[in-house]
């Protein structure tokens, strides 16, 4: 292999081809799955890994799932060493062997080129149910993993192309919804698509050439990342953020503390000073927390760096076990993915003084809900994560407003709203409204992205609603004179007049038909002094009713005639102190 002459152009070509393959795997999942969490919201990732488990390329619809696949792949390769064959398929979700979240179940398929293991295809998606005490997951009362989910350490479900029916049945006997079985078949199908295409690629150039050029691709990518890091002033930076309410003790709070050290072309994220783990389910796993760190940092560098092993080489992440970001066995951890937003806040705060032109203000934090029950129209059960409700605004940055209704930073617009009409087909509920929320985006020279208000009427008795998230205590923060966004909340208005404000981690059973569900996802933080925002822009936003007259005056210093909405130049100049 060492005598292969490296052709730099071929390196580019192979990199491009790998990207196309994981993209095709992603299309296969999106188009053939059942759960709206997968086919509508695209809460999954598809990837290719080399024989050692090193990342070749990924399509990261939801990046928080992404950076655990390579460690899991290494784990499977080691655990089954000598027992990996063509036609095998493995499942895995176990958070204590590098999984990120119980509901995120992966399928791995080894890829053989003429009887030699050359790579792995993997697809991981958020499954609609994974056993445990609560349908759909997110049991806020869990204190141990077994109360949350069925643990699937690496298990072989296909052996040399033959289904291991006993293993398969054991798994799906512990999962409530039959669609999970079909959606796991879709994951295997997606891996098969990846396998077919990668073998075509290797056949085309020859294995030796492919292998040698792959190494060069890693190195070239590492160099790109090193160049990005070198452009950050070397030094040590500190940031922190709060996690509110562990699902058990009202008023409880925990602090994430990160120390970031930039030394020339390397960067290190050290979470040693972060608070200890909780005794509930608000805990991260190493891979969910490290994914959060990586995806946040990737938004501060050139967005076109290929996603492979080389990208990660200059990055070191230290998260001691026993902290809220890396809980010890057998802790409950289902909330772990959702520690990404505060983790991101800590990183942004730390790096804002160093690279003010590259960081955003704070993003709206996730607050989400999941409804489940029986659909009386079809006498069948359903699970729906209300993606359209959770998507608030992103933080603004220098020269650019925040993105409206984008959702949590860990998806960054990769996770989509349900289509409204499909929502009414797939759940018994009726959508009343889903609209931008005026004045939700933090005021600034660059405005924070807008949040949304979502209202629906519950369509069946005995509906169960699980809330999970944050952002109901502290809004998305502004930067450099920008103002904060607005808070999240979820409220249930019962037919008998009672109103219940859901806690940020909550399980509400027996919600009756006719209840009105109201959710606000807040806006992102603003960037820079709002009085520097062009008055004409503010006026246009008032005309479109996304900024109110009152806010235009009080926050932006723009006076408008309430009838004509014309700018009162004199008054505006006075308000703006000019």
Partner 1 sequence: MRYKIGIDVGGTFTDLFLWSPAGAVETFKVLSTPEDPSIGVLDGLAAIAESKGESREALAAQVTTIVHGTTVTTNAVLTRGGAKTGLITTTGVRDALEMRRGIREEQYNNRLRNVVPLVPRRLRRPVRGRLDHAGAELLPLAEDDVRAAASLLKQEGCAAVAVCLMNAFANPAHEKRVTAIVRAVLPGAYLSVSTEVLPTIRFYNRASTTVLNAYVGPVFGAYMQNLASRLKEVGFRGVLLIMQSNGGVALPEVTAQHAASTLLSGPAAGPRAGVAYALEHGRSDAVVVDMGGTSFDASLVQKGEAALNNEGEIDRLRIALPMLAITTIGAGGGSIGWVDEGGLLNMGPQSAGARPGPACYGRSGELATCTDADLQLGYLDPAYFAWPLALDVDEAAAGIYRVINTNMAHGVREVTVKRGLDPRAFPLVVAGGAGALHACMIARELEIPTLLVPPTASVLCAAGMLLSDLQHDFVRSFVTPLASADWRALLCLVDEMTAAGGSQLEVEGIPPERATHQAALDLRYVKQYHEVTVPVPRAAIERADLEAIAALFHARHNQLYGYDLAAEGTPLELINVRVKSVGLAEKPALPRLAAGGADPGAALKGKRRVFLPERSAFGEAPVYDGHRLRAGNVIPGPALIERTDTTIFVSESFSARVDGLGSCVLTACAGSGGNE
Q: Which of 97, 288, 412, 515 binds partner 1 (CB under 8 A)?
A: 412
For partner 1, which is the closer residue by CB, 34 or 176? 34
Dist CA 367 CA 485 (whole Å) = 14
d(CA 119, CA 97): 20
**In the complex with partner 1, which residue's Cβ is closer, 152 or 301?**
301
Instruction: Give min distance, CB of 543 to partner 1, in A.
Output: 5
Is 536 a binding residue for partner 1 by CB under 8 A? The answer is no
79 touches partner 1 by CB under 8 A: no
Strands 430-436 and 489-493: unpaired
Which residues in the 201-220 window bind partner 1 by CB under 8 A? 204-205, 219-220
By CB under 8 A, residue 127 contacts partner 1: no
* Spatial contact of 165 and 4, defined as CB atoms under 8 Å apart: no
Q: Taking a C-beta distance cutoff of 8 angstroms, is the pair 516, 432 a contact? A: yes
25 or 332: whose CB is closer to partner 1? 25
Smallest separation (angstroms) from partner 1 to the CB of 471: 17
User: Interface with partner 1 includes 416 (CB under 8 A)?
Assistant: yes
Within 455-474, which residues bind partner 1 (CB under 8 A)?
455
How does DSSP assign 105-158, residue by residue? EEEEEEEEETTEEEEEEEEEEE-S---SSSTTS--TT--BGGGT-----SEEEE
Q: What element of type H or E holds 78?
A: helix 69-79
| Shortest distance in whole angstroms from residue 410 CB to partner 1 | 10
| Span near partner 1 by CB under 8 A; candidates 44-52, 92-100, 140-148, 411-419 | 411-419
Residue list 234-293, contact with partner 1 (CB under 8 A) = none
We find the least distance from the C-beta atom of residue 252 to partner 1, in angstroms, to be: 31
Nearest partner of 282 among 317, 331, 347, judged by Cα: 331
Compute the CA torsion angle 225, 226, 227, 229 (nearest 10 deg). 90
Give the pair of three-digit tokens for residue 413. 């617009």
Q: Binding partner 1 by CB under 8 A: which of 2, 3, 5, 9?
A: 9
Site for partner 1 in 304-363 (CB under 8 A): 304, 360
Instruction: Name the minimum Å distance from CB 251 to partner 1.
Output: 32
Q: Which of residues 478-507 bind partner 1 (CB under 8 A)?
A: none
From the number of C-beta atoms within 10 Å of its C-beta (0-12, 13-18, 19+), residue 534 rates as: exposed
Residue 434 interacting with partner 1 (CB under 8 A): yes
Q: How many residues sit in the footprint of partner 1 (CB under 8 A)?
A: 90
Q: Is 456 helix (H, G, I), strand (E, B) or coil?
A: strand
Per CB under 8 A, 549 contacts partner 1: no
In angstroms, give the least distance from the CB of 218 to partner 1: 10
- Spatial separation of the C-alpha atoms in residues 60 and 99, rounded to whole Å: 16
Residue 224 touching partner 1 (CB under 8 A): yes
- Contact between 227 and partner 1 per CB under 8 A: yes
Q: Which stretch binds partner 1 (CB under 8 A): 11-19, 112-120, 238-246, 268-276?
A: 11-19
Residues 169-198 that bind partner 1 (CB under 8 A): 179, 182, 185-186, 188-193, 196-197
Binding residues for partner 1 restricted to 382-401, rule: CB under 8 A: 387-388, 391, 394, 397, 399-401
198: Cβ contacts below 8 Å, ≥ 6 apart: 18, 21, 48, 111, 118, 119, 121
DSSP letters of 171-213?
HHHT-S-HHHHHHHHHHHHHHHHHHHHHHHHHHHH-HHHHHHH
Out of 6, 31, 316, 534, point to the residue binding partner 1 (CB under 8 A): 31
Does the footprint of partner 1 cover residue 435 (CB under 8 A)? yes
Q: Confirm if 556 and 448 have CB atoms less than 8 A apart.
A: no
- CB of residue 544 to partner 1, shortest distance in Å: 4
Q: Which of residues 134-163 bind partner 1 (CB under 8 A)?
A: none
Phi-psi region of 407 (alpha: psi -120 to 50; beta: other; left: phi over 0): left
Contact flag: residue 560 with partner 1 (CB under 8 A): no
Residues whose CB falls within 8 Å of the CB of residue 497, separated by 6 or more in sequence, listed in order: none
Q: Does residue 43 touch partner 1 according to CB under 8 A?
A: no
Among residues 338 and 391, whose Cβ is nearest to partner 1?
391
30 touches partner 1 by CB under 8 A: yes
Q: What does the DSSP 8-state code read for residue 4?
A: P
């Amino acid at each position: 292999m060492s005598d292969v002459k490296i052709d730099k152009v071929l390196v580019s070509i192979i990199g491009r081809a790998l990207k196309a393959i994981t993209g095709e795997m992603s299309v296969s999942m999106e188009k053939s799955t059942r759960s709206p969490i997968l086919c509508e919201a695209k809460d999954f990732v598809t990837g290719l890994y080399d024989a050692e488990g090193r990342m070749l390329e990924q399509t990261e619809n939801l990046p928080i799932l992404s950076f655990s696949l390579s460690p899991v792949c290494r784990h499977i390769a080691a655990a089954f060493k000598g027992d990996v064959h063509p036609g095998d398929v493995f499942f895995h979700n176990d958070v204590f062997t590098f999984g990120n979240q119980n509901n995120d179940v992966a399928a791995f398929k080894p890829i053989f080129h003429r009887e030699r293991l050359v790579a792995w295809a993997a697809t991981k998606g958020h499954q609609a149910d994974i056993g445990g005490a609560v349908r759909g997951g997110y049991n806020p009362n869990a204190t141990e993993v077994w109360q949350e989910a069925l643990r699937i350490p690496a298990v072989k479900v296909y052996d040399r192309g033959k289904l291991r029916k006993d293993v398969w049945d054991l798994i799906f006997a512990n999962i409530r919804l039959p669609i999970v079985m079909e959606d796991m078949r879709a994951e295997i199908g997606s891996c098969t698509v990846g396998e077919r295409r990668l073998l075509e690629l290797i056949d085309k150039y020859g294995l030796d050439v492919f292998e040698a050029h792959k190494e060069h691709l890693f190195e070239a990518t590492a160099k790109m990342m090193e160049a990005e890091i070198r452009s950050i002033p070397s030094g040590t930076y500190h940031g922190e953020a709060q996690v509110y309410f562990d699902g058990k003790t009202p008023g409880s709070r925990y602090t994430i503390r990160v120390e970031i050290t930039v030394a020339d072309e390397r960067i290190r994220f050290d979470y040693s000073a972060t608070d200890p783990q909780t005794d509930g389910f608000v805990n991260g796993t190493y891979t969910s927390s490290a994914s959060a760190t990586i995806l946040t940092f990737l938004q501060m560098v050139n967005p076109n760096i290929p996603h492979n092993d080389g990208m990660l080489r200059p990055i070191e992440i230290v998260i001691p076990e026993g902290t809220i970001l890396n809980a010890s066995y057998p802790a409950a951890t289902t909330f772990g993915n959702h520690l990404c937003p505060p983790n991101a806040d800590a990183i942004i705060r730390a790096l804002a003084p160093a690279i003010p032109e590259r960081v955003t203000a704070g993003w709206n934090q996730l607050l989400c809900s999941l409804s489940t029950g029986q659909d009386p129209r079809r006498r069948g059960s359903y699970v729906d994560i209300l993606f359209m409700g959770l998507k608030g605004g992103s933080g603004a940055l220098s020269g650019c407003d925040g993105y409206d209704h984008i959702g949590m930073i860990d998806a960054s617009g990769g996770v989509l709203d349900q289509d409204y009409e499909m929502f009414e087909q797939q759940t018994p509920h009726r959508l009343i409204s889903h609209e931008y929320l005026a004045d939700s985006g933090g005021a600034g020279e660059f405005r924070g992205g807008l949040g949304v208000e979502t209202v629906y009427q519950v369509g069946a008795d005995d509906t169960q609603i699980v809330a999970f998230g944050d952002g109901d205590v502290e809004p998305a923060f502004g930067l450099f004179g920008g103002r904060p966004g607005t808070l999240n909340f979820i409220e249930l208005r019962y037919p008998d007049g009672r109103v219940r404000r859901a806690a940020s981690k909550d399980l509400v059973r027996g919600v009756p038909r006719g209840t009105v569900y109201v959710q606000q996802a807040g806006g992102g933080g603003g960037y820079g002094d709002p009085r520097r925002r062009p008055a004409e822009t503010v006026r246009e936003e008032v005309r479109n009713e996304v900024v109110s007259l009152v806010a235009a005056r009080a926050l932006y210093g723009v006076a408008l005639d309430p009838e004509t909405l014309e700018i009162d130049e004199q008054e505006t100049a006075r308000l703006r102190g000019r």
